[in-house]
Structure 1
Amino acid sequence: MSTGTETGYALLRDPRRNKGTAFSMSERRQFGLEGLLPPTPLSLELQLARLQNELAELDSDLQRYLLLSDLQVRNETLFYALLMSDPARFMPIVYTPTVGEACQKFDHIYRHPRGLYLPITARGRVRELLRNWPQTDVRFIVVTDGERILGLGDLGVDGMGIPIGKLALYTACSGVPPHYCLPITLDVGTNNQAHLEDPLYLGLRQNRVRGEAYAEFVDEFVQAVQELYPACCIQWEDFANLNAAPILARYRDKICTFNDDIQGTAAVALAGIYGALHLSKKPLTEQRFLFLGGGSAATGIASLISQAMTMEGLTADEARKRNALFDINGLMVTSRTDLSEFQKPFALDHAPVSTFVEAVKALRPTGIIGVSTVPKLFNQAVIEAMAEINDRPIIFPYSNPTSRSECTAEEAYRWSDGRAIFASGSPFPPVEYGGKTFVPGQGNNVYIFPAMGMAVLATQARRITDEMFIIAAKAIAEQVTEANLASGLIYPPQSKIFTASLYAATEIAKYVFDRNLARVERPKDIAAFIQSSAYRPVYPE
């Protein structure tokens, strides 16, 4: 644990205090660094330039990911200065889509211990293991059990790249100070046979624990966090459907918590819809959405859209009927006997429909939203059917990583004759079609969870509500300019993500104070209060 008094080699190995070659001559004398560094100091700006050159020489984004991972554990200030200097360039490297490949190869590229691993074999001792973390004031935990990593499935402890990457974006995109952040993996085993047979696999070599033992382990974890870090917010990440919704339901009214796959994905989808409505010129209450995928992400989006529709005048029943789900067994209708409880509110009183394109033709949605993790299911017949029904069809293939996207941007624009309003979960390059350049939007949760994090940090909110996600979605959509819309972009450019996040955090914070959910006194200027809370990557004098 850093005491803030280290000198010499120990100081060069403290990522929060290390400046590397930026230590001044006087600092080198003061801290016993003379001779341990090349003799000429460099500024932070020159360090960034050297790092940019080094990254440009590498052959793949996975190599760049590894270089940046090494940098993060060596010099945190320089790491975040780089990310925040060009977020549109570096977010795809430190998170999706590159993090997916990094997780798949995690055991084979493992370098440094990061975060905490809590194995179920430590039941009864979770609090003891949490106390091994060097920071005593943790405000954000992103936790996964590794069962449903992006669209890649059960990766066990190899899913740790997700909490690490998410928390890096908390800091890079909204200024949440990194020392408040803790990535955690709950290791309850894995059903991935390839991992169990891999001699380099680093997790428990057993099948996943289910049922009561699993629930008790999660409960012990939550209780230990509350005891040790009473101001901490827990973000649940990449849990399988059978656990994601029940865990959220169990804790959402008891502690400050949210599930990013359910609520964050829902909010970014809603933000994209609000942005799309600027182009289609139609109100939200007239929209109909058909989801490809019926898991927790789909029901989470459908639920939040329904709530937003009720806020604009529809009844809850009317709103739910405007959001239909389609999974591997077809359209979710009331006659089906295989639906889970969290899916039943969206089951339609309709005849069974077995193919997605037939569902499009039967329900005539204004938008289709893909959260299936199965690529290419928004095929030419589907896109053409949407374009036949709508002047401006909304096409949102949100599955991650890029290899799992339901269609590409080029396919959506070409098959709709350039009329699609498009956003995807992973990035796609600009598309030239019909003499026009379209800039595909990326409906990435990064527009939501960092802003939520900053609002929670500043206000020390006791709870996170669905209304806070609707407010975040509206705030993001409000920042889309006419110039953005003219190119088809329905989200703010990722180059402006820091400004967008702080604006959204301010709007969320207003709600927190208005509803008496804050644990701090309301400031006179909330926007200035949020700005002053944000971390800036500069070396201390």
Structure 2
Amino acid sequence: MISRQTFLRAVVLGWGGERKVWALLERRTMMNGVEKTNGEDLATEEQLITPWTVSVASGYTLLRDPRHNKGLAFTEYERDAHYLRGLLPPALMTQELQEKKLMHNLRQYEVPLQRYMAMMDLQERNERLFYKLLIDNVEELLPVVYTPTVGEACQKYGSIFRRPQGLYISLKEKGKILEVLKNWPERNIQVIVVTDGERILGLGDLGCQGMGIPVGKLSLYTALGGLRPSACLPVTIDVGTNNEKLLNDEFYIGLRQRRATGQEYAELLEEFMTAVKKNYGEKVLVQFEDFANHNAFDLLEKYSPTHLVFNDDIQGTASVVLAGLLAALKLVGGALADHKFLFLGAGEAGTGIAELIALELSKQTKAPLEETRKKIWLVDSKGLIVSSRKESLQHFKKPWAHDHEPVKGLLDAVKDHLGVGKTFTKEVVEAMASINEKPLILALSNPTSQSECTAEEAYTWSKGRAIFASGSPFNPVEYNSEVFVPGQANNAYIFPGFGLGLIMSGAIRVHDDMLLAASEALASQVKQENFDKGLIYPPFSNIRNISANIAAKVAAKAYELGLASRLPRPKDLVKHAESCMYSPVYRSYR
């Protein structure tokens, strides 16, 4: 019988002229807790499986394996033990020196897409070094691997496509999706990010080329939330595209047909969700990304009772914005219930944020949800959403149809003192500033080119009084000899820690109270030094600690609600979250 506390050593086997090294990395597991060895992620794996082994092919094949390749960081001993002599130059280089060299090279590129491609090449060549770069330089590289650069990458995905990342499930796979999932080499999948590519950021229908979004999101799950890369699966559901440009593009990588809808679409998604649960179990998190409104709300409503599902566009955006509002109260004064809120847009983000604010108001004031919704107003393409429009509204907009005279435009809505790609015009911002001493302006659309206004416009038009945050990053702005640092209301603050909290607690369902807990945890991480700069979000440089605190609050809520399956509950959830996090530091092969 193998004890729970196990030390493993390497065994070298050779046969038929073929050499193979079984590199058994050291692992230690204890009965009453988890002890982390070499930074390996233990607590997000099943703890009862021991020993843990990793098969590493030797020689040239090892250098082509991104999971285990270390390049010039292989030691003299490893070069002998793994038959690498002569396959590498004689120099030895530490991981830190490799990182320094690569950051120097990345900074030479003037075109953001070139940096993106260089990072993707690194991920395919040396996975641990990729994450080491991203973790240590998160503020500089986040805009490279995600918004805004990922938008351009998706638009040009067919042209820059090299090595497939993730699973492509198209209408051709209907009836055999379970078999397709089994083609993926990893069995212990904990989070799936899936898109159908119909509404990529603010860029529209990019079809199969939307794969850049799940790949990017899962890179952040690892770098910011600490999930093991091997536990993450990017998926694109390809049902066609209505983008004529892509359909006529000889380099397009997806199905060349118009989008399937109705029953055909629903059956494919049903087969996918059923296969995911059957193959990976009850606790696999499925995160929906960039589905169009008409599908996003229906999918979330349909599968929330039966699966562990999360829509980042609806729920993640809502959570990060609510966190910003809670933090902003320190600057604007008053309680949340003292303010009214006006949203431009009544789609996934707008209605998702509105609902979470209403839930927080209901929690704070003990008022019914129907009453707290009345403090929130939404403007769509036809004007203010009011009760006289109720019959013609989509179902997800109807809770926000309040009694009021029709108002056509955003400027009129602002001037009617309801509250707070270039729709926040000078007149709109000036109207906000005339009503509020410190107008809170959140320009959330991604990428940067789709932002409702720039940071410079917000500060200039409000005469330096605006509290501003955007979905994608803006550079600091100088106005009247004062430097303003724009905040970033990026979902990357929330979903990595939120997902980690679900996984480390073994949650089986997502509850709204978990989203509120995540918002409150993020808001509590904003320090006075951040407020002094007009910021309502903490710096990304501290994102792993932020994610650990969010994960702890989410996990605590899962235990409180009886939705957690990993028992017993750890005594210190923050420390437990930190112990769960993947480390990109190189392992020693024995």
User: Which TM class, normalised by the smaller chain length?
Assistant: over 0.9
- Distance (whole Å) between structure 2 residues aligned to residue 469 and residue 399 of structure 1: 21
- Match of residue 525, structure 1, among 549, 556, 572: 572
Alignment-derived partner of residue 354 in structure 2? 302
Question: Is residue 170 of structure 2 the alignment partner of residue 119 of structure 1?
Answer: yes
Q: Distance in 2 between matches of 1:17 and 1:517?
A: 36
* CA distance in structure 2 between the partners assigned to 1:405 and 1:163 by the alignment: 22
Write out aligned runs for 1:139-538 (5 A): 139-230=190-281, 231-313=283-365, 314-336=367-389, 337-365=391-419, 367=420, 375-521=421-567, 522-538=569-585
CA distance in 1, matches of 2:450, 2:513: 30
Cα distance per residue 1:153-203 (max 9 Å; x no partner): 000011000000000001111211111000000000000001111111110
State the partner residue of 1:371: none
Equivalent AA in structure 2 for residue 255 of structure 1 = H
CA contact (8 A) 1:364 1:389 kept: no
Tell me if the contact between 2:314 and 2:353 (Cα under 8 Å) persists in the aligned partners.
yes
Q: Quick check: 108-117 or 511-520, which moved more?
A: 511-520
- Mark the runs of 5 or more structure 2 residues left unpaired by the alignment: 1-52
Query: How many residues align structurally?
Result: 532
Question: Hey, what's the Cα distance between the residues in 2 that align with 1:387 and 1:461?
Answer: 44
Query: Is the 2:471–2:489 contact (alpha carbons within 8 Å) kept by the matching residues of 1?
Result: yes
- Aligned twin of 1:100: 151
| 1:461–1:519 contact (8 Å) kept in structure 2 | yes
Aligned-partner residue type, residue 406 of structure 2: P
The answer to whether the 8 Å contact 2:417/2:435 transfers is no
CA distance in 2 between counterparts of 1:183 and 1:7 reads 28
Amino acid of the structure 2 residue aligned with 1:319: T
Q: Distance in 2 between matches of 1:4 and 1:321?
A: 59
Distance 1:22 1:383 in 2: 54
| Structure 2 Cα separation of the partners of residues 281 and 535 of structure 1 | 40
Is the CA contact (8 Å cut-off) linking 1:176 and 1:457 kept in structure 2?
A: no
The residue type equivalent to 2:345 in the other structure is G
Deviations 1:264-296 (A, max 9, x none): 000011011011111011110111111111112
Specify the alignment match of 2:111 in structure 1. 60
Q: What runs of 5+ residues in structure 1 fail to find an aligned partner? A: 368-374
Are 1:91 and 2:142 an aligned pair?
yes
Question: 1:265 & 1:524 partners in 2: Cα distance?
Answer: 30
**Percent identical:** 51
Give the conservation status (yes or no) of the 8 Å contact 1:291–1:298.
yes
- Letter of the aligned partner of 2:211 in structure 1? M
Distance 1:422 1:474 in 2: 20
Q: Distance in 2 between matches of 1:510 and 1:3?
A: 33
Specify the SS of the correspondent of 1:5: strand
Within the alignment, does 1:131 sit opposite 2:182 as a pair?
yes
- Counterpart of 2:290 in structure 1: which amino acid? D
- Equivalent residue of 2:396, what SS? coil
Task: Kindly provide the CA deviation profile for residues 463-500 of structure 1, in whole angstroms up to 9, marking residues without a partner as x.
Answer: 11111111111111111111111111110011111111
Shift of 1:317: 2.1
C-alpha distance in structure 1 between counterparts of 2:119 and 2:371, whole Å: 49
Q: Is the 8 A contact 2:341 2:376 kept in 1?
A: yes
User: Residues 75-108 of structure 1, C-alpha deviation per residue, up to 9 Å, x if partnerless?
Assistant: 1100000001111111000000000010010001
What are the Cα deviations for residues 483-533 of structure 1, in whole angstroms up to 9, with x where unaligned? Answer: 111111110011111111111111111111122211111112222211111
Structure of higher CA gyration radius = 2
CA distance in 2, matches of 1:261, 1:16: 31
Contact 1:387 1:393 in 2 (8 A): yes
In 1, are the aligned partners of 2:154 and 2:211 still within 8 Å (CA)?
Answer: yes
TM-score, with length taken from structure 2: 0.89
Does the 8 A contact of 1:437 with 1:487 survive in 2? Answer: no
Does structure 1 residue 81 correspond to structure 2 residue 132? yes
**Which of 146-155 and 227-236 deviates more?**
227-236
Shift of 1:219: 0.7
TM-score by length of 1: 0.97
Q: How far does residue 3 in structure 1 lie from its aligned partner after superposition? A: 5.9
Cα RMSD of the aligned pairs, angstroms, is 1.1
1:307-345 CA-partner distances (Å, limit 9, x unpaired): 000001133122111111111111111112431011000
2:559, 2:65 → 1: CA distance? 37
**Residue 14 of structure 1, CA deviation:** 1.5
Displacement after TM superposition at 1:5 (Å): 3.0
